[in-house]
Amino acid sequence: MFDKLQQAFWKALTPDLVPDEVKVAADPVAGLSAEIVAALGGVDNLKSQQPVALTRVRVALHDEARVDRQALSVAGVAGVMPLGDGVLHLITGLRAQG
Amino acid sequence: MATPQQLQLLAPLSGVLMALDQVPDPVFAGRIIGDGLCIDPTSSTLCAPLAGVVSDVQASGHALTITSDAGVQVLMHIGLDTVNLAGKGFIRRVEAGQRVAAGQALIDFDADYIALHARSLLTLMLVVSGEPFDSLVGSTGLLEVGQPVLDVGVGVSPGENPAAAQGDAVFSQPINLPNPNGLHARPAAVFAQAAKAFSATIHLHRLQAQANAKSLVAIMALQTAQGDSVQVSAEGDDAEAAVEALTRLLTEGCGEAVTAPAPVEVVAAEMPNILRGVCASPGSALGQVMQIVEATLMVTEFGAEPPVEREALSQALIEADMALQHLRDTASGEAQAEIFRAHQELLADPSLLDQAQALIDEGKSAAFAWQTSTEATAAMFRSLGNALLAERAADLADVGQRVLKLILGVHEQTLELADDTILIADQLTPSQTAGLDTRKVLGFATVGGGATSHVAILARACGLPAICGMPMQMLTLDNGTRVLLDADKGELQLHPDAESIDQLRTRRAQQRQRHQQELAQASEAACTRDGQHIEVTANVASQSETAQAMELGANGVGLLRSEFLYLDRQQAPSHDEQVATYSAIARTIGPAHNLVVRTLDVGGDKPLAYVPMDSESNPFLGLRGIRLCLERPQLLREQFRAILACSALTRLHIMLPMVTHLAELRLARQILEQEAQVLGLTHLPKLGIMIEVPAVALMADVLAPHVDFFSIGTNDLTQYTLAMDRDHPRLASQADSFHPAVLRLIAMTVKAAHVHGKWVGVCGAMASERLAVPLLLGLGVDELSVSVPLIPAIKSAVRELNLADCRIIAEQVSNLESAGDVRDALQRFHEVKVDGSPVMEN
């Protein structure tokens, strides 16, 4: 009897004690145009990417030296802000809100 | 008009230009603050676009204004909604008042941090002084920091009409700012914009500071914060209209969405279905909303001849006194009558009258003089950091308002209440509640107030449920909205469905039934299902309470608050009086049970007339409890002597409050032993200490060999551990004894005591909470000392539990991260273990 109750009790408690940390395995390329990806040195050079702050895409690269600024500009990236450790903000303009 | 000169503004950052119209923020896009440009930065140091003086740096470091010698004011605002970062990610490199050169670095910011934590990095540079300018760059494209971007025409200031009429300033009522970050750039701009629509000279006041209400920069320089009390004053033709409109605007949040009631749909969408606060009086009720709003009174500063104004004031005071006497005579209970008696005393306070008279003699109106003196005194009460005096400030505000209405001839409107009303208010004053038909009121919910507020006292006296500390947005609920007030859970549920209502009804019926059952079994022992006996004792402060407690099945008294012998009198109680009182209580308890007498626990927060004390800036950290008694050992000596006189009548225990050091215990024991020797006692009573100061919980293993028992005062232990005043209107809901930090201190204390074979009780409010019972038992607590009416309920709660289960849950919850998580876990435990039907979720 005790075991049964204890089990029920554990089950009831679990949601609190074990926070579900489902890491979304983000597709590193999703949302970036092929031209931008190429200008960043290709898929292999891209560690992660994340749209941030309404107008930016935050990318983490393996090798910053492989970035082609000219090609980025041609691909529609209005500005680039290097932040060290291979992290760049690409200013791509306002995204549709909602 | 002066000859226009040109001033070139330099780009404050490198980055990508964005047209102002496109900025996703209506205040900036609508140029409400001013016109200028927007840059999406690629550099991370904001530089001065012009030479001048830094006239305002927001404390949070995300915005700054520079004023040139010619008066051009340029505001720079980094990011959108970055005020919410509260300074994180920004490093200021200049101070307000500092002169800077064009191009000088002003603020460094961490662009990556801001991009990840705020809405946007879009940075605004706006000419807030309103001069026209020509753009030297397009509306898009790349900018380099330092590049000239705007040509501003200097000396073409649109200015305001300086010919404001000379007249009496009209003052608004004090307004508590609802904006979460005070009047920062956006709401300040909305406010200044609205003020500009009036020709009157308008000022915004905060404490002694005042700002030109038409100047955005001046308003921001007031550095207001949420909850600050501000006032609007206006002088000129449309002064009254201005004060009225601006007061409304401030109350509504100056366009900030959180509290703006204007776009009703938005508010409805944002309003969660359940609003949460803290329980001020238990119970539950289903009813409809009735908002109680204090009318805004218009007060003119200057009056007629002083004798006329003085007469007006004294007439109003007499009328107010009569009205209060009537309220006293017709009050529904003792508690309420007491409150109005206190109000009458306040009205007769000479210092209040002196202040008002002095102002009238200076030519002020009676209303202005009275308002100023009551508010100044109330502010002083509040500033002393003392809960009791802060309560008096609320009384003073209430009685001040009563007199003010009489002076101004504003009639109290009696509220027409529907049946089943749930009263909603920012703060309910005794005057507001006095005339209410309590038969129609089913409960209260207020934004302000804590467990000691009047609404709590009143609600408990009437046996009605009440919750305090509710979110501001509750005040936007429409009258008549159906709500379910569940004070036990601290919740107000909007538009409850049939199911919730049914649940409430069932629960009420169950509660009634359970209560009867508990009463019937009150005299039986409190043993857990697995056979552990728990002492359930009472917290009392008089002989009659003791008798009641024993009748309800108490296993003795776990806390006798001996202060009742000392408070509200001009001289210390005599030895005989003390002996008679202690002996009567001891006889009521008898030799089979414990009587734990706590020695005098007073201090700067509850001073005694005959124990003069210097006022302390922070009485809760001052000479309280044993500290005061050791400072005046004669007081303690006399008390010990009186307590010892009843040692043959019961199992006598003496408990010392607020002990911090072992030395205090040693000194007290020495005095006790000396007194026992004088009386020729061979058998000493048990001596223990209260665990209220975190230091003694942490040192419990060192103290345990020297005491006979510990009793944990959870209220003070919580307030000292979390550094939160439990009566603080905004912190009360967080100052929760269920915080894991407090639980760990309790666990430490118990462990140390048991190693040395000593017992541990809990006499704080936590012991009287049903939800805490499994937790405290699981932590190993041996005795629960609870408030008298709850003895049967707590005993019955003990009988429902298995100690083994309690130990598991106690260990689990001590590792959670917040009091809220602990409560949730205990609630689940209760549902699974006690209510029988295991909830198999998911």
> A5 and B115: CB-CB below 8 Å?
no
Mean of pLDDT values over B522-545: 92
pLDDT of residue A89: 93
Least confident of A54-58, A72-76, B54-58, B837-841: B837-841
- Asked whether residue A56 is domain-assigned, the answer is yes
CA distance B489 to B472: 19
Q: In angstroms, what separates the C-alpha of B13 from chain A's closest C-alpha?
A: 12
Query: Is the pLDDT at B704 greater than 90, yes or no?
Result: yes
Q: pLDDT class for B606, splitting at 50, 70, 90?
A: low
Mean pLDDT across B529-538: 94
Q: Which amino acid is at B404?
A: L
Contact A12 B41 (CB under 8 A): no
Among A55, A79, A83, select the one facing B122 at the smallest CB separation. A55
**Chain A residues whose beta carbon lies within 8 Å of the beta carbon of residue B816:** 16-17
* A74: pLDDT strictly greater than 80: yes
Among A3, A18, A52, which would you mutate to test the B interface (most chain B Cβ atoms within 10 Å of its Cβ)?
Answer: A52
Among B112, B826, B829, the strongest candidate for a mutation testing the A interface, having the largest count of A CBs within 10 A, is B112
Query: Closest by alpha carbon to B60, among B97, B32, B88, B96?
Result: B88
Mean pLDDT to the nearest integer, B23-46: 86
* Residue A6 included in any domain: no
B51 confidence band (pLDDT: 50, 70, 90)? very high
Whether B661 is catalytic: no
| Separation in Å, CA of B16 to nearest CA in chain A | 6
Q: What is the pLDDT of residue B479?
A: 87
Give CA–CA dist B605/B324, Å, rounded. 28
Cα(B479)–Cα(B422) distance, integer angstroms: 10
Q: How confident is the model at residue A18 (pLDDT cuts 50, 70, 90)?
A: very low
Is position B468 annotated as part of the catalytic site?
no
Residue A7 maps to a domain: no
- The mean per-residue pLDDT over the stretch B259-267 comes to 36
Strands B90-92 and B105-109: antiparallel
Instruction: Note whether A16 contacts B24, CB cutoff 8 Å.
Output: no
**What is the span of the domain harbouring residue A35?**
29-91
CA distance B465 to B459: 6
Contacts of B831 in chain A (CB under 8 A): 12
Higher-confidence residue: B280 or B134?
A: B134
- Which residue in B has a C-alpha nearest to residue A4's C-alpha? B838
- Chain B residues lying within 8 Å of A9, measured CB to CB: 805, 808-809, 828-829, 832-833, 838
Percent of chain B with pLDDT over 70: 88
Note the pLDDT of residue B261: 35
B541-567 confidence digits (pLDDT tens):
888 889 999 999 999 999 999 988 887
Query: Could you tell me if residue B280 is left (phi over 0), alpha (psi between -120 and 50 degrees) or otherwise beta?
Result: alpha
pLDDT at A29 over 70: no
pLDDT for the residue B159: 40
Least CA distance to A13: which residue of chain B?
A: B825
pLDDT confidence of residue B461: 64
* Domain membership flag for residue A55: yes
Window B:118-157, CB contacts with A under 8 Å? 118-122, 140, 142
pLDDT exceeds 70 at position B598:
yes
Contacts of B811 (CB under 8 A, 6+ apart): B778
Confidence of residue B414 (pLDDT cuts 50, 70, 90): low
Q: B829, A13: Cβ pair inside 8 Å? A: yes
Q: Which of A11, A53, A78 shows the shortest C-beta gap to B115?
A: A53
**Candidates B115, B804, B832; nearest CB to A8:** B832
Cβ-Cβ contacts under 8 Å, B41 against chain A = 81
Average pLDDT, chain B: 84
Q: Does B167 have pLDDT greater than 60?
A: no
More confident residue, B4 or B813: B813
A70 inside 8 A of chain B by CB:
no
Q: Does A60 touch chain B (CB under 8 A)?
A: no
Contacts of B809 in chain A (CB under 8 A): 9
Banded pLDDT at A19 (limits 50, 70, 90): very low
> Quick check: B594 pLDDT over 80?
yes
Mean pLDDT of chain A: 74
pLDDT greater than 60 at residue B160? no
Q: Is residue A35 included in any domain, yes or no?
A: yes
Residue of B nearest to A50 (CA): B116
B111-135 pLDDT per residue, tens: 999 999 888 999 999 988 878 888 8
| pLDDT (0 to 100) of residue B718 | 93
Q: What is the pLDDT of residues B510-519, one digit of tens each?
A: 878 888 899 9
* DSSP track, B636-663: HHHHHHHHHTTTTTSEEEEEETT--SHH
In whole angstroms, give the CA distance from residue B356 to residue B371.
Answer: 8
B758-789 pLDDT tens trace: 999 999 889 988 899 999 999 999 999 998 88
- Report which of residues B498 and B617 the model is more confident about: B498
Task: Tell whether the model's pLDDT for residue B810 goes beyond 90.
Answer: yes
Q: Could you tell me if B155 and B140 are in contact, meaning their C-beta atoms sit under 8 angstroms apart? A: no
Nearest C-alpha in A relative to B818: A16
Measure the CA angle with vertex B506, ends B504 and B511; round to 5°. Answer: 90
Query: CATH no. for residue A74?
Result: 3.30.1360.60
Instruction: Please indicate whether, in this complex, the C-beta atoms of B838 and A5 are within 8 angstroms of each other.
Output: yes
- Give Cβ neighbours of residue B690 (< 8 Å, ≥ 6 apart): B598, B625, B655, B656, B657, B658, B659, B710, B711, B712, B713, B716, B763
Q: Answer yes or no: do A13 and B825 touch at CB < 8 A.
A: yes
* Closest by Cβ to B111, choosing from A11, A81, A97: A81
Handedness of CA B352, B354, B359, B364 (dihedral sign): positive
Highest mean pLDDT among A7-11, B571-575, B748-752: B748-752
pLDDT at B38: 93
- Percentage of residues in chain B with pLDDT exceeding 90? 36
Total Cβ atoms within 10 A of residue A39: 23
Give the residue among B773, B788, B829, B810 at the shortest CA–CA distance from B526: B773
What pLDDT sits at residue B837? 40
Q: Which domains does chain B have, with CATH numbers?
A: 5-154 (2.70.70.10), 171-269 (3.30.1340.10), 271-295+414-512 (3.50.30.10), 299-408 (1.10.274.10), 532-834 (3.20.20.60)
Do B8 and B148 form a contact (C-beta atoms < 8 A)?
yes
Q: How confident is the model at residue B101 (pLDDT cuts 50, 70, 90)?
A: very high
Is residue A2 in some structural domain? Answer: no
B262 pLDDT higher than 60? no
Instruction: Tell whether A24 is within 8 A of chain B (Cβ).
Output: no
For B208-237, give one letter per residue: b (16+ CB within 10 A) or e: eeebbbbbbbbbbbbbbeeebbbbbbbbbe
**Candidate list B47, B462, B763, B806, residue with the active-site label:** B763
Per-residue model confidence (pLDDT) at position B270: 58
Residue A58 forms contact with B (CB below 8 Å): yes
Indicate the pairing of strand B148-154 with strand B175-176.
unpaired
Q: Is residue A11 part of a domain?
A: no
Residues in chain A: 98
Choose the catalytic residue: B454, B653, B739, B830. Answer: B454
pLDDT of residue B434: 62
CA atoms of B699 and B660, how far apart (whole Å): 9
Q: Encode burial over B278-303: b for 16+ CB neighbours within 10 A, e otherwise.
A: bbbbbbbbbbbbbbbebeebbbbbeb
What whole-number distance in Å separates Cα of residue B468 and Cα of residue B476? 16
ipTM, 2 dp? 0.74
Q: In the predicted model, is pLDDT for residue B43 greater than 80?
A: yes
Residue A79 lies in a domain: yes
A16 vs B828: CB contact, 8 Å cut-off? yes
| Mean pLDDT for the stretch of residues B195-203 | 87
CB count, 10 Å around CB of B510?
11
Report how far residue B543's alpha carbon sits from residue B554's, in angstroms, rounded to the nearest whole number.
Answer: 14
Q: Is the pLDDT of residue A40 over 50?
A: yes
**Lookup: tokens for B805:** 């289960």
Q: How close B33 comes to chain A (CA, Å)?
A: 22
Interface test with B, best of A80, A85, A91, A95 (most B CBs within 10 A): A91
Tell me: pLDDT of B23 over 70: yes
Residues of A in contact with B839 (CB under 8 A): 8, 12
Question: What's the structural domain count of chain A?
Answer: 1
Mutate to test the interface with B, among A14, A55, A92 (most CBs of B within 10 A): A55
Q: What strand order describes the sheet that includes B421-425?
A: B274-276, B491-494, B482-486, B284-292, B421-425, B441-446, B466-468, B278-281
